Amino acid sequence: MLSGIKYWRAGLLDQMNPPKPTFGVDQIPDLSGHVAIVTGGGAGIGYETSKALLQHHAKVYLCTRDQGKAERAIVRLKAEVGKDCQVIFVQLDLANLKSVKRAATELAAREHEVHILINNAGVMWSALDALTDDGYDMQFGTNVIGHFLFTELLMPVLLAGARASPDGHTRVVTVSSLAAYNTGEVWYDALRDGPTRRKLGTEKLYDQSKFANAVVARQIAQRYGEQGIVSISLNPGAIKTDLQRTMNPIARRIVQAALFPPTMGALTSLFAATMPEALNYNGEFMVPWARLGKCRQEMYDDSLGQKLWERLEDETKTFRD
Q: Sign of dihedral through CA atoms 73, 74, 75, 76?
A: positive
Tell me what pLDDT residue 244 has.
Answer: 43
- pLDDT score recorded for residue 11: 67
The pLDDT, as a whole number, for residue 8 is 55
| Residues in Cβ contact with 308 at an 8 Å cutoff, skipping those fewer than 6 apart | 186, 212, 215, 216, 219
Distance between CA atoms of residues 137 and 308, nearest Å: 16
The overall average pLDDT reported for the chain is 93
**Which residues are registered as beta bridge partners of 117?**
37, 172
Question: Is 98 considered catalytic here?
Answer: no
Catalytic option among 50, 210, 233, 281: 210
Is residue 3 pLDDT above 60, yes or no?
no
Q: Is 303 a catalytic residue?
A: no
**For residue 87, what pLDDT is reported?**
98
CATH no. of 31-320: 3.40.50.720
* pLDDT at residue 240, rounded to an integer: 80
Type of residue numbered 31: L
Residue 1: CB atoms within 10 A of its CB come to 22
Range in 3-7, 74-78, 98-102, 286-290 with the lowest mean pLDDT: 3-7
Query: Is 206 one of the annotated active-site residues of the chain?
Result: yes
Q: Out of 176, 177, 233, 269, pick the active-site residue.
A: 176
Rounded mean pLDDT, 171-188: 97
Q: What pTM did the predictor assign?
A: 0.93
The single residue of 47, 181, 206, 224 carrying the catalytic annotation is: 206
Could you give the 3-state DSSP secondary structure of residue 247?
coil
